[in-house]
Amino acid sequence: MAPRSRSYKISATPSTIFAHLLVIAVATLVLVWLLEKRNGFAFNSVNKFKIFNLHPFFMIIGYILIGGEAIMAHKTIPATRRAQKTVHLLLHLVALLCGIVGIYVVFKFHNEAGLPNMYSLHSWLGMGTICLYGLQWLLGFFSYVFPRAETSSRASFLPWHVFFGLAIFILAICAAETGLLEKFLFLGLFRSQEALIVNFIGILLILFAISVGLTVVLPRVH
């Protein structure tokens, strides 16, 4: 009798745990960078860079990190499928609102500082990503929440919903990376402690994107 072939399953759990740890690490580094090295943040200030500092705060911590947690909600929330969908929807809404505020404050900073808007690759990527994110959220809401499409339509749309969700998330990471590079060059952060912080934020965001992607594609083995 021929020996039975073995199939090995790789669980999503390790990548999920790693992603959660990266959320803590990135959020900590962003706060250290903005509070200690960049003098904090404010919606109104004589120091216009305090207004700008709200942009990376909302876009990285609010938009990317919470958005990544929303993507992983189906694997990380130990609850019913319905509860997972609710958390998924609400976290994406929070991320979207943070992204909108982040876009608003950077326009506010540019206008008050007398700088042009939408002049860089970072700004184009960022604006395109937030628009696609909002469209993705609306399509998901009307397809799966209210008024809900037919079961067959929801099933056929699901792979595309997952694909475009990950694609938009990757675009958000790309926007963040170009934004960090732009800030790095603008401030002339060479061979300084602040440069190390900014570079580590960029590297950890890439690792976070990989971890979120693995969490989505790998099964949760109990």
Per residue of the chain (222 residues), what is the pLDDT tens digit?
A: 444 444 456 788 899 999 999 999 999 999 999 999 999 999 998 999 999 999 999 999 999 999 999 999 988 888 888 899 999 999 999 999 999 999 999 999 999 999 999 999 999 999 999 999 999 999 999 888 888 777 788 888 889 999 999 999 999 999 999 999 998 887 777 778 888 999 999 999 999 999 999 999 988 755
pLDDT on residue 212: 96
At 9 the pLDDT is: 66
State the pLDDT at residue 3.
47
Distance CA 214, CA 27 (A): 21
Q: Under CATH, what is the fold of the domain 13-217?
A: Four Helix Bundle (Hemerythrin (Met), subunit A) (1.20.120)
> Long-range contacts: 22-28, Cβ < 8 Å, 24+?
22/204, 22/207, 22/208, 22/211, 23/65, 23/68, 23/69, 23/208, 25/204, 26/60, 26/61, 26/65, 26/201, 26/204, 26/205, 26/208, 27/60, 27/61, 27/65
Confidence (pLDDT) at 222: 52
Tokens standing for residue 124: 């184009």
Torsion angle of the four alpha carbons 88, 90, 95, 97, in this order, in degrees rounded to the nearest 10: 160
Burial 75-110 (b: 16+ CB within 10 A, else e): bbbeeeeeebbebbbebbebbbebbbbbbebbebbb
